[in-house]
Every structure is written in structure tokens, then in C-alpha cells.
Amino acid sequence: MDPRFLLFERTEGVDELFVFAPALNRVVPVHEESRKQPFLGSDFYVSDLVLPNLDTYTHERAGEELVGERRCVLVASVPKSQEGALYGKVVLAIDPADLLVAKMEFFDPKKQLLKAY
């Protein structure tokens, strides 16, 4: 069985995130400091798997791209403040037909590509 996530998004206060760890056969809370650490030995962080507070970024359309067979709109999001930010920019490829995120690219503060999902 793969790990499973449960996210309680709060309109006020801090969101709560839990993960079911099959190896432990239990649900484990994911604390804020853990969200900026590699997830299960991968190149991704827990924070990469949940939506950030959209108001803390500036967003702009960055073109279009074909991802697989999907014609996607590219949206570039840059943190309004680099303090505490994991990335200098994140680009999402979103299929407007069903609002599916088909690809995510994560860039460092110098806008160099770090990883893609």
C-alpha cells in the first residue's frame, strides 16, 4: 500500500497535514518544519504535494505547452517574499479543459530549474 495524505485546509490558522505510513501501519502528523524536508527519500518535499497560500505569490500567464496530448496553459508563480520560500519560482502546466495540473517545474532563487514533476 502506498502512503496516503489527509489535508485539513483552514480558512484561518495553520493547515493540518497527516500521512498514513504503511511501514508503521499508522497515521503520522506532518509538522510545518517537516514540510521542507525530502519526502520518503525523494527529491520532493511534502510542501510540493499541497497547494500553498496563493495570496503569497504573484501569478502570470507564461505561455502554452503541449504536455502529452494536453494543450496546457503555463502559469508562473513567484513568491512575494523570498524569506522562507523553498523556490524562486514554480511553473504549472494546467489543462484548461479540466483544470488538471499536468506538470510542475520548481526553480531556485536564480531561476535555474531544480526539478520537475
HEC assignment per residue over 53-88 = CHHHEEEEEEEEEEECCEEEEEEEEEECCCCCCCCC
pLDDT on residue 9: 75
pLDDT on residue 36: 66
Confidence band for 51, pLDDT divided at 50, 70 and 90? low
Of 31 and 83, the one with more pLDDT: 83
pLDDT on residue 11: 78
Percent of residues in the chain assigned helix, strand, coil, to nearest 5: 10, 50, 40
Sequence ranges of the domains in the chain: 4-49, 54-116
pLDDT at 4 over 80: no
Please tell me the pTM assigned to this model. 0.71
